[in-house]
Structure 1
């Protein structure tokens, strides 16, 4: 199990600040081999705070003027283009989402021509 999966499964209420250091360290115990001095120090010193802040700002920009607090979840923006809401199932499917990334990896400008298929089949085309 990955840490992001554990975080997602144990989300505190949005109204409360439940992501304390103690909470983050406790749920990290569910991920084999994650806890250790380096990880614990990174959590306690907020080593990656600037990454989180930058990610939040990018998320808010993705919402534009219509959604200044962000577009909602799940959302993904690739090269400035948001995956349409009718295709957000791709964000929950490793094969489908991985297929999108493989198609656009070599030609990022070609994202405009990507056609999304059914996520369960992982089929996407140009």
Structure 2
């Protein structure tokens, strides 16, 4: 009898813990959306949601070499975080790779002056080749 009570309690706890949330995350409607595709392979699209998320992008094929064609893509995306801060990133992707630009992209710290001097000293005084 005791084991049946334990099993029943475990089943009740499982059902209660998997019940739908009282406050499900609301779906955010799309305010505007556009997509154009041209016969030459170029395209452009953009969308904006009701919570302020925006994205736009355009791309077109580019002949880099005689037999090499790459897609050149450029665009941007932006959103507002829960604290009200605006975040935006712009980017280009082409034969040189993905190149993002934005204030939220981390950058390497500046090289300390002592390290910079040491690196310059090493560059100015190369190690002589050892003779065999």
Fold in common (TM above 0.5): no
Q: Which has the higher contact order (CA 8 A, sep 6+)?
A: 1
TM-score scaled to structure 1, two decimals? 0.24
TM-score scaled to structure 2, two decimals? 0.24
Q: Which has the larger helix fraction?
A: 1
Q: Which has the larger strand fraction?
A: 2
